[in-house]
Structure 1
Amino acid sequence: MVERLKPEDRAAGLSTLPDWHLCDGREAIFRSFKFKDFCEAFGFMAHVALLAERMNHHPEWSNVYRTVDVTLATHDVGGLSALDLELARQIDDVASRT
């Protein structure tokens, strides 16, 4: 079963994800990605969708032209879990290769 991260575990995890930030007003993390164009942004989203589906852990996201905004939280625990940190790492890896 997935558990909500303790504050010290959340802080330690976020220290390894420097481009992700805590959201104001809720326990979630956020990052905005900018790509060359819409096709590159959409390709990134398609790749992340496959990762998320394999993890059975899905992002909240939006896309406007070349920008993809991603928010991660684990709704079942009402905050952040290790799943969010792992998905953020995998998303960063996809972005670095796009």
Structure 2
Amino acid sequence: MSATRLDTDALTTALADLNALGQGGWSLSGGQLCKTFVFCDFVHAFGFMTQVALIAESMNHHPDWSNAYAHVRVALSTHESDGITERDIELARQMERLSGNG
């Protein structure tokens, strides 16, 4: 999967596709692709994080994220590319799938 930074057009298209895939909520902030997932309780939020962690590890691509009770805030970027790449988009797609939104 490419670690080439997405240009503005590709990023705009990818963001629209992600928001159409699930419940929306993806945005750009500080050069990162961001979303807050909301679950019914802590157990579901933590279960989601566990599933994502296994996928992220297999991709060798790890999110910046935080958890507060039923909320999981995610910020994706590819550090070695200093921006958002297809690797971030693919991990975001997987997150949507695992959250039950995609």
Q: TM-score, normalised by structure 2?
A: 0.89
1:17: which partner in 2?
Answer: 18
Mapped partners of 1:28, 1:93: distance in 2: 20
Could you tell which deviates more after superposition, 88-97 or 55-64? 88-97
Residue 2 of structure 1: CA displacement? 1.4
Mapped partners of 1:38, 1:2: distance in 2: 33
2:63 maps to 1:42? no
| Partner SS state of residue 36, structure 2 | strand
Describe the superposition over 1:46-77 as per-residue Cα deviations: whole angstroms up to 9, x where unpaired.
Answer: 00000100111110000011111001001101
Residue 87 of structure 1: CA displacement? 0.5
Amino acid at match of 1:15: A
Describe the superposition over 1:35-56 as per-residue Cα deviations: whole angstroms up to 9, x where unpaired.
Answer: 1111111100000000100111
1:3: which partner in 2?
Answer: 4
The runs of at least 4 aligned residues of structure 1 exceeding 3 Å deviation read none
Residue 33 of structure 1: CA displacement? 0.8
Match of 1:73 among 66, 73, 77: 77
Amino acid at match of 2:72: V
| Unaligned 5+ runs, structure 2 | none
Mapped partners of 1:36, 1:13: distance in 2: 28
| Partner SS state of residue 65, structure 2 | strand
Residue 17 of structure 1: CA displacement? 1.0
Aligned-residue identity in percent: 43
Mapped partners of 2:3, 2:34: distance in 1: 20
Mapped partners of 2:3, 2:33: distance in 1: 17
2:88: which partner in 1?
Answer: 84
